[in-house]
Structure 1
């Protein structure tokens, strides 16, 4: 390696590692802030907390690495231009492209490492992180209760609208379904308020409910009476439920039974999952089409059709050829069939929407692994020439420019991926859209920098205006008049 290449590479690496460590530290602090509710108040060891942060840190690399490359490129090449080092290189016959050669090789190497990291390290860390989070949530039942959804705790399914108090022990609008050993939940309890009371020395947690109702579905031995769905109802001012916490207190933080998230899979596993989901989706769609066709009764039309001599006038209603009772029966039957088909169609629509969203998430996760590697190269060719053009190094203007560019890149990617999840745009386009937008910008900036042109040539905008004034006789060329 020549002295110049070694000098440029060394300057870049010093800034690169410094910026990467600083940005990673900032994003880790943000992670602690986001997940403080899952970690605080559970008597977790420092080792468990550090393990949680270690497992979560690899997920930050797709954010930190592109921003680091962009910022480092602008700062390094801006510093070279500001200190007239590029001017010295150009006077010696060394172009910007030649100066970027060693760094280009390094960035390609970084992109390959990023691809390997995204395909192997991030899925493994995601697997560890999600399982650890699920195990931590079980250490404190109050934390395991999420507002607005049913939560499975022991033999109860509990839903609350709001939690309050220092330890989230006060509950509002509580709904409880008590599970039976034989399956099902015939008992429903509703209360306006609730309070969780317990101690660390006890395996029993008391849930005190206030101002509520107790509903219990009765199952008569007579099957005809079961159709009436009888139940008993009672009102209470205060009702105490004891929940066995023996399973919660024996949580194994090393348990790794959950493995179905798309972020946990490698490229080969994602391909296999996408194929499996797509085949299953197509089979369900085919079965649904066949079912809806059978619901119309067209397939049985030839079996029930009997030709008659009656000639039906096209201008008259079909029901007018039947008596009132038969016409009413036909109308009610047809209306019931249509309403049933519409209800079934609406239910299946939501089901297929969830299936499509699941497939799209797996496709996005697949393309993201490739997009990260290419984004590293593209953002380098955006930052390096931009730094040479603005001729400003240090921590001032380069940080502002880099953050603005990266936020544009990042938010375009987020909005596109959110749209791709519900099928608004293809997952392939959504994942690569931000990189495709940055690619022409990188080509443009590289061309401007290698040809010693500024960011914008204002003469290109002023020249047509000057010509217009010259034709109108309102502007005279001073060089000719002199």
Structure 2
């Protein structure tokens, strides 16, 4: 049962966390506004649209720094309890250190469940509106796609586009290859191509079609041809930000689509997928570390505890950056890369816990 002591610590914990995170969100909004105000004026962004943008920006920044601030909050209020000798009184009354940690576990579990729901569904929905706003009123409009784009539409169908001009709705040096094993059965080459968004078809111009059945080969020429290929001009532009705007079910579907197309950036998407879960558990682990560190009354007081907490937070963030970089650039398994900082932090938490109960 949750007793008065538990409610007292839980209220202190959650109150400190929400106060710190709200202050951070407001400061972040002010900084972001100062950086983008020129773009808002330049693109004549409506006032209500700007307000809606910052409404969606706050969940993004809160989710990004959630582990850091749950850690700082646990250290800050626990250090205050220790400075006022409240923890000494609690332990002297016969309460074990394990029992003392119960409200921390309850509070961090509550925040962890909230973090899971937000990171998998709520934050991506907010990011979708935020990114749409930035595309309209902040970023310069994209006129051309990436150059030399290769896509695998099915296991036996590959397409290539040298470049695509969005303003003219025209692509150049298009080719589509049908491959059966090691046999190139058909290759369609067109000087230019345009996309019909109504009929969802591609119009090819100055087309050369090469067919091969293993024994005979034919070449056919046509001034124009219409084909239905399972991709659109938007697929020719690599935009890794879109994964932030996808709920987890949508992200899983998109990963399957990228697998079919033979994309080389799958680890970016897997890192995003696993990070959404690992951050919630990171908050729990860092809360335990914060409680163990700050529960002792020392001469340096809260200042020393906070300084130590900031150092540990910096090391944790650095480990996360290193591990995710190894995953996206060096091929390290994304699941391992995302959980390495949590595993190391968990070992530290267990060591500090064992040291405290002794």
Q: Does 1:412 align with 2:319?
A: yes
Q: 1:40 to 1:436 in 2, by over 3 A?
A: farther
Return the offset for 1:9. Answer: 1.9
Choose from 144, 154, 171 the match for 2:140.
Answer: 144
Q: Which has the higher strand share?
A: 2
Structure 2 counterpart of 1:30: 31
Q: Does 1:270 align with 2:247?
A: no
Return the offset for 1:446. Answer: 1.4
Return the offset for 1:274. Answer: 2.2
Partners of 2:65 and 2:166 in 1: CA distance: 46
Return the offset for 1:366. Answer: 0.9
CA contact (8 A) 1:387 1:393 kept: no
CA contact (8 A) 1:74 1:393 kept: no
- Deviations along 1:114-171, one digit per CA (max 9) or x if unpaired, are 000001111101111111111114xxxxx627xxxxx529xxx9xxxxxxxxxxxxxx
Structure 2 counterpart of 1:385: 292
Q: Does 1:8 align with 2:9?
A: yes
Partners of 1:420 and 1:129 in 2: CA distance: 27
What does 1:366-445 align with in structure 2 at a 5 Å threshold?
366-389=273-296, 391=298, 396-445=303-352
CA contact (8 A) 2:21 2:62 kept: no
TM-score (norm 2): 0.68
Structure 1 counterpart of 2:126: 125
Return the offset for 1:184. Answer: 6.2
Partners of 1:96 and 1:28 in 2: CA distance: 40
Q: Secondary structure at the match of 1:261?
A: helix
Partners of 2:277 and 2:61 in 1: CA distance: 16
Q: Any unmatched runs of 5+ in structure 2?
A: 146-163, 173-238
Q: Secondary structure at the match of 1:433?
A: helix
Partners of 1:397 and 1:99 in 2: CA distance: 22
Q: In angstroms, what is the RMSD of aligned CA positions?
A: 3.0
Structure 2 counterpart of 1:93: 94
Partners of 1:273 and 1:418 in 2: CA distance: 22
Q: Any unmatched runs of 5+ in structure 1?
A: 138-142, 146-150, 158-176, 186-257, 282-354, 452-482
Q: Secondary structure at the match of 2:259?
A: helix
Partners of 1:95 and 1:55 in 2: CA distance: 43
Structure 1 counterpart of 2:68: 67
Structure 2 counterpart of 1:467: none
TM-score (norm 1): 0.52
Which consecutive aligned stretches of 4+ in structure 1 deviate over 6 angstroms post-superposition?
177-182
Say which one has the larger Rg. Answer: 1
Choose from 356, 359, 370 the match for 2:264.
Answer: 356
